């Protein structure tokens, strides 16, 4: 049996062929951009919408073209920007108050067991109550003003944020806390260097959920408690001449803004400390 030696040139040629074949495969398997699939789904949904309208016998569901005309009409009259600003103003204040109260309070409950045992039953008592149920009381307390929807948004966000923050602290693996204490970290540094980074991913998830609920609540509150905003736009368009094109236009604008707010909050997950917490779960 004879062996044919492989020269360095043969190895170089073989490596070159492998690299070339890998480049060819990559050139034919370029992944589509992240926005392509959502755009295709959106286009298919609009197509199905148009087909459903064409086969419908009534005019209760306007087609995409009429909705676009309605949005353009609202823009020309200056109403769309006015109502969007009003809704975002209420959501910003109400949700900011919910975060400022819910996150520290939830961290406190998660870190101190006696406090959790004392306050958790009260939180679980009020948490299932829909913020919509508070609308009559909010109107009595604050009148027909911005304070009423801000209060409702605060209620919609503070309980999910508090529960998620408390659960995030309670779910931290004890091995991290023990390791930090073995290195002699003080309670303040332990909380800042270990507890917050480890709990941050779950807190961000709770904030995202609470923001979606808060955006839903502000629309419902604006239908009853105030005379401006996207919720008021929908109910006013229905009552004044049954402008269902404006109703659907308001719904679509609400959905698009909700999508934008969720994408904005999801950006927080890219921070280094939050990625540290996610990588250790």
Please write the tens of the pLDDT for every residue from 124-153.
Answer: 999 888 888 888 888 888 887 888 889 999
CATH number of 61-279: 1.10.3720.10
Angle, alpha carbons 200-203-206 (nearest 5°): 155
Query: With a cut of 70, which residues of the chain have pLDDT below it?
Result: 1-34, 58-59, 176, 241, 269-281
Angle, alpha carbons 275-276-278 (nearest 5°): 60
CA distance 272 to 274: 5
Question: Could you please report the per-residue DSSP string of 186-198?
Answer: -HHHHIIIIIHHH
Return all residues near 51 (Cβ < 8 A) that are at least 6 apart. none
Please write the tens of the pLDDT for every residue from 148-194.
Answer: 889 999 999 999 999 999 998 888 777 767 777 777 777 777 777 77
Q: 244-266 and 79-111 helices cross at what angle (nearest 10)?
A: 40
The burial class, CB within 10 Å (0-12 / 13-18 / 19+), for 247 is buried
pLDDT of amino acid 7: 52
């Amino acid at each position: 049996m004879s062996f044919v030696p492989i020269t360095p040139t043969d190895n170089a040629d073989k490596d070159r062929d492998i690299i070339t074949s890998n480049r060819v495969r990559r050139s034919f398997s370029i992944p589509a951009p992240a926005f392509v699939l959502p755009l295709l789904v959106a286009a298919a949904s609009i197509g199905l919408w148009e087909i459903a309208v064409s086969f419908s016998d009534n005019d209760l569901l306007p087609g995409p073209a009429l909705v676009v005309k309605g949005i353009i009409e609202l823009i020309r009259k200056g109403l769309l920007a006015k109502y969007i600003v009003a809704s975002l103003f209420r959501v910003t204040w109400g949700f900011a108050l919910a975060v400022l109260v819910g996150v520290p309070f939830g961290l406190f409950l998660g870190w101190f067991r006696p406090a959790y045992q004392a306050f958790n039953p009260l939180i679980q008592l009020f948490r299932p109550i829909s913020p919509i149920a508070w609308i009559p009381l909010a109107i009595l307390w604050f009148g027909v003003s911005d304070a009423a929807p801000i209060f409702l948004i605060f209620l919609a966000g503070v309980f999910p944020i508090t529960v998620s923050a408390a659960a995030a602290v309670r779910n931290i693996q004890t091995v991290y806390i023990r390791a930090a204490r073995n290195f002699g970290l003080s309670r303040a540094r332990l909380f800042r260097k270990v507890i917050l980074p480890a709990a941050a991913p779950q807190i961000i998830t709770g904030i995202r959920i609470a923001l979606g609920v808060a955006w839903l609540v502000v629309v419902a509150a604006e239908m009853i408690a105030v005379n401006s905003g996207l919720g008021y736009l929908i109910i006013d368009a229905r009552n004044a001449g049954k402008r269902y094109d404006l109703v659907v236009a308001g719904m679509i604008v609400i959905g698009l803004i909700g999508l934008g707010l969720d994408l904005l909050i999801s950006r927080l997950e890219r921070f280094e400390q939050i990625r540290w917490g996610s990588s250790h779960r």
